[in-house]
């Protein structure tokens, strides 16, 4: 077997399962390139066929030289840098794989990639990735049988396993808390019963719906995730009257998040009392300032919070106040890590209190729900569901479900089984079927049911 040289840009959270997968093949040689050499070396140490190098993504020449020396470049760095990697790959006629959504900046290289004869495969992780594989497969089956897809509803989330969801959010951070919280400001757009619905960031937590997943052991809610409306074209379902893609959380998360948003905890504005040079301050004092009180008692503060958040008659009032007590909002002892703005100061506390502890496991839940009209006019509901748990001491569910599909796509390109050129996503049976076969061999496929 001829030696294959793989360049991995990024050594973060999802990289290890990718490395393990591609290095099962003895002909594959891997270079792990990271901004911090120690991080690349930490990932490389268990794999004799891998080497570690330091590289700055903003050093165009260094990136270009690295890409030129390899057969394929895998970009697991922030999506804003993928276009740089693709530009270098086009120049040197090398294939590329990313797990990110295709951005307009990436799509601009489509023709150049075709002209260079290279494959730029994207959206091949979990969400996006595994979700596309099974959505496209079911939709294709329905159309081939002469049926129509009336509704496509898909929700996905990475969460702590139920036994580890032991905080008021029912959530833990495996990466930046800031990114998770700022996503609560995103506008969601989707198609529902033939109408485009737009939910602005401030209303997002109010648009939450309880999810009927068919798994009563989980208490899930969901809300729209960015813009679902292009999926009529992406999934070839112009006949669909409802198309919703969203995020899953445990019930309780949106109610608590909404109260915090109302109090102003997503504000990125600098506040004098939260700067590094300001005197030490407790959470109780910060919250008092937020609701406009001077030195209130815990009871006065509670009353002001209830008033400001409008939870007077809410069945969630006790749970929300318990959550705030857990965060230290009523305590003179809970010191604040001052980070200039309320958002960043709050994130510092969340990251301290809501990390995965040794031996805890995460969970990924992804479900598609298809409402179908069969050729003879009868109605049918189908679901495709993925439930994956992390292994304490091993890979997390999130890392595995992103890193392994990425590894599979990489190997299929190296083996000449994915040959389409240009900037791609897994939207056709020719690309998807061989990936599904290998994903299922790894035990992370979706389970299909007709209800």
Per-residue pLDDT tens over the stretch 153-208: 999 999 999 999 999 889 998 777 888 888 888 899 999 999 999 999 888 888 99
Q: What pLDDT shows up at residue 180?
A: 84
β-bridge mates for residue 389, sequence order: 363
Hey, where are the domains in the chain?
4-125+397-446, 130-256+357-389, 282-335
For residue 30, what pLDDT is reported? 97
- Asked if 316 is an active-site residue, the reply is no
The pLDDT of residue 1: 78
Q: Specify the CATH superfamily of domain 4-125+397-446.
A: NAD(P)-binding Rossmann-like Domain (3.40.50.720)
Give the class (CATH, top level) of 130-256+357-389: alpha beta
Which entry of 95, 127, 131, 344 is annotated as an active-site residue? 127
Is 0.85 topped by the overall pTM?
A: yes
Regions of the chain where pLDDT drops below 50: none
Q: Contact at 8 Å (CB) between 220 and 251?
A: yes
Instruction: Report how far residue 128's alpha carbon sits from residue 409's, in angstroms, rounded to the nearest whole number.
Output: 13
pLDDT of residue 13: 84
Q: Could you tell me the CA-to-CA distances from 265 to 184, 195, 286, 290 in Å, in that order?
A: 11, 33, 11, 9
- Main-chain dihedrals φ then ψ at residue 142, nearest 5 degrees: -60, -45
* Integer angstrom CA distances of residue 34 from 37, 45, 57, 138, 184: 6, 14, 9, 39, 30
Structure confidence at residue 38 (pLDDT): 94
Question: Half-sphere exposure of 123 toward its Cβ, with a 13 Å CA cutoff?
Answer: 18
Query: For residue 435, what pLDDT is reported?
Result: 98
């Amino acid at each position: 077997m001829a030696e294959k040289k793989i360049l991995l840009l990024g050594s973060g959270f999802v990289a290890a399962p990718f490395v393990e997968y591609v290095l099962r093949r003895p002909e594959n040689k891997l270079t792990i390139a990271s901004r911090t050499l120690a991080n690349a070396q930490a990932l490389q140490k268990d794999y004799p066929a891998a080497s570690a190098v330091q590289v700055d993504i903003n050093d165009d020449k260094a990136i270009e030289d690295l890409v030129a020396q390899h057969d394929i470049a895998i970009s697991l760095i922030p999506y804003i840098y993928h276009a740089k990697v693709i530009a270098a790959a086009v120049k040197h006629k090398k294939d590329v794989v990313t797990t990110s959504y295709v951005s307009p900046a990436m799509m601009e290289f489509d023709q150049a990639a075709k002209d260079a004869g290279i494959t730029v495969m994207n959206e091949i992780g979990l969400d996006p990735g595994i979700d596309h594989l099974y959505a496209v497969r079911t939709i294709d089956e329905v159309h081939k049988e002469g049926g129509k897809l009336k509704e496509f509803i898909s929700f996905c989330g990475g969460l702590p396993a139920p036994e580890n969801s032991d905080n008021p959010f029912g959530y833990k951070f495996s990466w930046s808390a800031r990114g998770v919280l700022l996503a609560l400001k995103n506008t969601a757009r989707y198609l529902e019963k033939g109408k485009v619905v737009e939910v602005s960031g401030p209303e997002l937590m109010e648009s939450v719906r309880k999810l009927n997943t068919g798994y009563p052991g989980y208490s899930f809610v969901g809300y729209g995730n960015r813009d679902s409306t292009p999926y009529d074209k992406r999934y070839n379902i112009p006949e669909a009257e409802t198309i919703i893609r969203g995020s899953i959380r445990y019930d309780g998360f949106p109610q608590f998040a909404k109260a915090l948003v109302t109090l102003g905890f997503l504000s990125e504005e600098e506040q004098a009392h939260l700067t590094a040079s300001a005197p030490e301050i407790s959470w109780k004092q910060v919250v008092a300032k937020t609701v406009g009180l001077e030195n209130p008692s815990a009871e006065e503060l509670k009353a002001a919070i209830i008033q400001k958040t409008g939870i007077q008659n809410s069945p969630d009032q006790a749970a929300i106040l318990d959550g705030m007590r857990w965060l230290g909002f009523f305590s003179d002892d809970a010191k604040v890590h001052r980070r200039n703005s309320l958002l960043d100061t709050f994130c510092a506390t969340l990251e301290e209190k809501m990390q995965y502890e040794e031996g805890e496991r995460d969970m990924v839940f992804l479900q598609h729900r298809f409402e179908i009209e069969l050729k003879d006019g009868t109605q049918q509901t189908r679901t495709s569901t993925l439930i994956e748990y992390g292994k304490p001491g091993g890979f997390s569910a999130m890392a595995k479900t992103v890193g392994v599909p990425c590894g599979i796509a990489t190997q299929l390109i190296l083996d000449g089984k994915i040959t389409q050129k240009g900037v791609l996503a897994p939207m056709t049976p020719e690309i998807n079927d061989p990936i599904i076969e290998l994903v299922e061999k790894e035990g992370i496929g979706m389970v299909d049911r007709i209800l």
